[in-house]
Structure formats: structure tokens, C-alpha cells
Amino acid sequence: MKDSKDYKNFNRKENLKLSSKVVHGGDGVDPATGSLSFPIYQTATFKHSAIEIRDPYNYSRCINPTREELEKTMAILEEGTRAFAVNSGMAATTLVFSLLKPGDHIIMSDDIYGGTFREVNEVLSVNGVEYDSIDLSDLELLKKTIKKNTKMIFVETPTNPMMKVADIEKIAKIGHDIGALVVVDNTFLTPYFQRPLTLGADIVVHSGTKYLGGHNDVLAGIVVVKDSKIGEILEIKMYIYGAGLGPLDSWVMLRGIKTLALRMEKHQENAIKVANWLRKQPKVEQVYYVGFEDHKDYAVTKKQTTGFGGMISFRVDSMETVNKILENLKLVIFAESLGGVESLITHPISRTHTEISEEKRNALGITDTLLRLSVGIEDADDIIADLEQAMK
Ligand SMILES: Cc1ncc(COP(=O)(O)O)c(C=O)c1O
């Protein structure tokens, strides 16, 4: 039987800079028609050409050209061998967690996206996977937490919402010494600022809903792997789970990714201005931003990233100030999610981190006076003016 499924040998555009790669994607133009906007192959199934030929496209749950273009694009950007586009960041994390089996042990960042924690705590642990959630910026603690059955280290860096930074290269080394997979949630910095696979990680996951899509208009998740053997395992699991991203949403993602470089630069430029302004406000007690030179892990950030991104958390003096800010903001929107062009603010304790125990939240510093700001691409002066009037 002929197998015409040769799409893995695509042009990897190795000699291009990332800001060029984002514009030109995987194939870039449609190979069938030359269309510059990659077509939305809105179909569930494909006509077989003959009984003895295994066509590259058969059924959209397994493979769809628009999704495939997005997957090639993400494999190029993260410098992996294979990528999978699924229908949310949680679906991406779930696909990766499917590599674990009962009796395995996973170590993850303590200050992690609440949904990821919930999946480990309420699903994996019920299915016999043990876990520890620890401060992964503390490598000695990591070494002490490792068990004989540790099979995965799941790193979110910077963390959400406390902006702690973990040393990917060192964690990958520790993980590989014991044969564990090292997975990095790269949602906050994106491959524009941080490429975990080049630092030794095995797998990258993204909530594509955030900076990759970039416009708060699509839910998506991405998994990128370094080892093609893991790619083969995940490919089958993706067929089984039926989690593949639909063609229209894949196109929306491709469209968003084209401006990733420009957007990330602007998010960062604005975030630096806003973070420095916040620091000087009498009602603001503490500002957490990885771009501050006095951030505890600044040296690690400088070593492993090319930028700081657009996420800031800050603690204010009272719940009265929290309420004032959330009620009075006019431009910055009180909403969950992050990474879109619009500035969004959220209250982690009541929105994104409800599933973490009170005791743990207090230990981490996720208190009721903590706010998380996703700095958008509006004019920084307008964002600052809005925060200023809301705080008064
Ligand atoms: C860092 C991080 N990872 C994963 C997720 C889950 O992504 P999604 O909401 O697309 O399922 C989120 C969502 O907020 C997130 O912030």
C-alpha cells in the first residue's frame, strides 16, 4: 500500500528569525491553490483515491489540512518535531497527562494555573497517579521530592499568578537523570520569548487561547514534542480523544500567530511601563513582574528568555481598593483569560485559582488583595490613566 502521508518532511525554515517564521507559518501558502490565506478546509471527511492508496487526508478527527498547517507552524516556532492543535489549553495538558499511568508520580509547580492543578488533583490522583506540587524555582527541593516512580515534571514558568521563574535547563537535566519527561507550559512567554525544547524540555504545552491566538476570540491548545516517538504516541491518543482543533478555529489561530512577534513586543513595552508605574502607587504594596531587575529569579529569566512578556500581578492595600479598581476601570476589562490585545484584569483568588486550598493559596501569596493584569496593546498611557482613575 502506498503511503502518501509525507507531511512531516516540511520546510522548517531554520535560517529565518522568529518574527519571519510567524508570518510564513508551515507551508504558508496553500500548496493546492497558492492561496496566501491558508484555506479553511471545512470538511469532516475526504474522498479516498483508490483502495490500495492510503491518502494523506482521511477524516478530520485525525487530520485536517488547516489544523495541520497550524501544527507545522507551531512545530517550527517551538523547534519541535511534531505539534498537535487541540480545542483548549486544558485539552493540550490532558493529552500530555495521558502519557502517565497508575503508579506514576508527577511533580508540578505549586503556583500553577488552577485548571491544571484541578486536573491533577481531581482526575489523575483518582486514577492512581501520585503528585507533589512544589516551588520549582527551588532545585534542591525538587531533588528531594523526586521518587522512584517520578515520570513527569510539569513546569509552568513564569508561574500564574505569582510570576515565579524555574530554570528549565537545570530541571531538564534533573528530570532526564531519572528518566522523567520534562513538560513546560509556555503560555505566558510563547516561543517568541522562550523556547523550552531548545533548553532541554521534552514537551511544550500552550493555552493557544492566550497570546498565540492573541485576540480573545478562540479557544485552543497546542502540544509540541521534541522526540518523534512521543509524537507518534500522542498522535494516536489525539485520534482516540477526538480533541483536534476544528478547521475554522485553526485558521483563526494561524491568523493570530502571524502578528505574534509585533504583539509580544508591544505587550512587553506596555507591561514594563505599567509595572514601573504600579510600583510607585501608594495603594500598591507589591508588584510581581519578571522584568524587574530585583526579581528573585531575574538571572534565570535573562539566561533562558529573550523577553519578559506582558503579565503582571500586584497586591493592593485592601479589599476596598480591589473593589474600587474592578468597579471603576473603563478601558481595562475585568475578565478571565490573558494574552489578548485588550488589557484584562482578574482577581485570582475568586476566579482562576478557586480550586487551590485556602491554606496553599495563603502560603503562595494568592490572597484576596492580589490582582493579575494582562497588559494589552493599547497605548500604555491610556492603561495607566485608567488604573489611576480607578484607584483614586
Ligand atoms: C498558563 C495556563 N495554562 C493553561 C491554561 C488552560 O487553557 P484553556 O483555558 O485554553 O483551556 C490557562 C488558562 O488560563 C493558563 O493560564
Catalytic residue chosen out of the listed positions 57, 113, 192, 289:
113
249 with 293, same domain? Answer: no
Strand partners, 131: 106
d(C-alpha 331, C-alpha 159), whole Å: 26
340 with 301, same domain? Answer: yes
357 with 277, same domain? Answer: yes
Residue with grid cell 535573562, as numbered in its chain: 302
Distances in Å between the alpha carbon of 269 and those of 87, 109, 299, 364?
30, 27, 20, 28
Pick from 337, 346, 329, 336: which is nearest to 382 by CA? 329
127 with 276, same domain? Answer: no
221 with 98, same domain? Answer: yes
Measure 89 CA to ligand 1 centroid, in angstroms. Answer: 5
Measure 256 CA to ligand 1 centroid, in angstroms. Answer: 17
Torsion sign (Cα): 261, 33, 209, 83: negative
129 with 179, same domain? Answer: yes
- Residue ranges lining ligand 1, Cβ < 6 Å: 88-90, 113, 115-116, 156, 160, 185, 187, 207, 209, 219, 221
Measure 96 CA to ligand 1 centroid, in angstroms. Answer: 14
Strand partners, 250: none
From atom 2 of ligand 1, which residue's Cα is the shortest distance away? 113
232 with 314, same domain? Answer: no
Annotation says 61 is catalytic? yes
136 with 165, same domain? Answer: yes
Q: Which of 94, 113, 156, 163 to mutate to test the pocket of ligand 1 (most atoms within 8 A of CB)?
A: 113
Pick from 88, 42, 103: which is nearest to 251 by CA? 42
pLDDT number for residue 11:
65
Question: Tens-of-pLDDT digits for all 392 residues of the chain?
Answer: 444 444 445 566 778 999 999 999 998 899 889 899 999 999 999 999 999 999 999 999 999 999 999 999 999 999 999 999 999 999 999 999 999 999 999 999 998 998 999 999 999 999 999 999 999 999 999 999 999 999 999 999 999 899 999 999 999 999 999 999 999 999 999 999 999 999 999 999 999 999 999 999 999 999 999 999 999 999 999 999 999 999 999 999 999 999 999 999 999 999 999 999 999 999 999 999 999 999 999 999 999 999 999 999 999 999 999 999 999 999 999 999 999 999 999 999 888 777 778 888 888 889 999 999 999 999 999 999 999 999 99
d(C-alpha 192, C-alpha 77), whole Å: 8
Domains: count for the chain: 2
> Which of 190-225 are b and which e, b meaning 16 or more Cβ less than 10 Å from the residue's Cβ?
bbbbbbbbebbbbbbbbbbbbbbbbebebbbbbbbb
Kindly report the CATH number assigned to the domain that includes residue 319: 3.90.1150.10
Q: Which of 154, 187, 222, 354 to mutate to test the pocket of ligand 1 (most atoms within 8 A of CB)?
A: 187
Kindly report the CATH number assigned to the domain that includes residue 22: 3.40.640.10
C-alpha cell at position 357: 486550598
Q: Is 288 exposed, middle or buried (0-12, 13-18, 19+ CB in 10 A)?
A: buried
Measure 51 CA to ligand 1 centroid, in angstroms. Answer: 42
Amino acid letter, residue 27: D
Strand partners, 59: 45
139 with 21, same domain? Answer: yes
18 with 71, same domain? Answer: yes
Which of 222, 257, 292 is where one domain is finished? 257
C-alpha cell at position 260: 505574534
Domain hosting 331: range is: 261-391
Which of 228, 257, 286 is where one domain is finished? 257
Report the 10 Å Cβ neighbour count for 365: 15
Beta strands in 40-189 (DSSP E): 53-54, 82-86, 105-109, 130-134, 150-156, 181-185
Q: Do 104 and 122 form a contact (C-beta atoms < 8 A)?
A: no
Annotation says 185 is catalytic? yes
Which of 229, 257, 285 is where one domain is finished? 257
124 with 170, same domain? Answer: yes
Measure 116 CA to ligand 1 centroid, in angstroms. Answer: 8
pLDDT number for residue 5:
44
Amino acid letter, residue 335: A
270 with 249, same domain? Answer: no
Residue 91 alpha carbon, nearest atom of ligand 1: 11
